[in-house]
Amino acid sequence: MNIIFLDIDGVLNDKKYLQSQESVIRKIERDVLFESAQEAKPHLNTIIKYDMLRINMEKLSMVIEVAKNTASGVVMMSNWSEQEYYETFLNDLYELGLPIVGYIDGTTPFRGSLIKKYVNEHDVNNYVIVDGELAIDYSNDLLNNMVLTNYEDGLMDRHISLMYGVLNRYSHRR
């Protein structure tokens, strides 16, 4: 099995995209704060709508295409994993075509050890890490399988080419 370890911020979104969504995002944030102030739990649909607005669908489509063309599953590794409704959000991404097979805690600066653990515990033949930042413990073997994006631009065509290059290798280094 091929795996794409996928971050969200700086990959599926970027600074310019988030700025273009700012007015809608701010309205939802105000609604959520108002609901919280009323001591009512924010509505699930409002939270999911908020999260989905922060996903650039063009970038998501690019990842879906790579996953499909390389028979890859996706393991999410985002700071968003601390959110109460994260699994529901992932289900929505799955319904859009992202072949999510799991997630790891993205809040830790030690993502590298979690990636290695996942690779070792599952039948992973090859993998690529698509992240908008470097974790503290990304060792050389992980960096050989990494595609580094940035918050300014997010996922771009050149990153897609690199993803294909890593996923089309016959073997990887653990």
Which domain CATH number covers 85? 3.40.50.1000
Q: 142 lies in which domain range? A: 2-14+56-167
**Bridge partner residues of 72 (DSSP):** 2
Number of structural domains found in the chain: 1
Residue 51 has pLDDT above 50, yes or no: yes
Please report the pLDDT score of residue 147 as a whole number. Answer: 97
Please report the pLDDT score of residue 169 as a whole number. Answer: 79
Nearest to 119 by CA among 157, 63, 170, 75: 75
Helix pair angle (157-167, 57-70), 10° resolution = 20
How far apart, in whole angstroms, are the C-alpha atoms of residue 165 and residue 92?
28
Q: Is residue 126 part of a domain?
A: yes
Any alpha helices (H) in 71-132, and if so which ranges? 86-95, 111-121
Residue 142 CB-half CA count within 13 A? 22
Of residues 173 and 105, more confidence is placed in: 105
How far apart, in whole angstroms, are the C-alpha atoms of residue 117 and residue 160?
25
How far apart, in whole angstroms, are the C-alpha atoms of residue 62 and residue 159?
10
Mean predicted confidence (pLDDT) in 116-120: 95
Mean predicted confidence (pLDDT) in 1-28: 89
What is residue 59's three-state secondary structure? helix
Q: Is residue 23 part of a domain?
A: no
Q: Is residue 35 part of a domain?
A: no
Predicted model pTM:
0.87
Q: Is residue 19 part of a domain?
A: no
Please report the pLDDT score of residue 174 as a whole number. Answer: 35
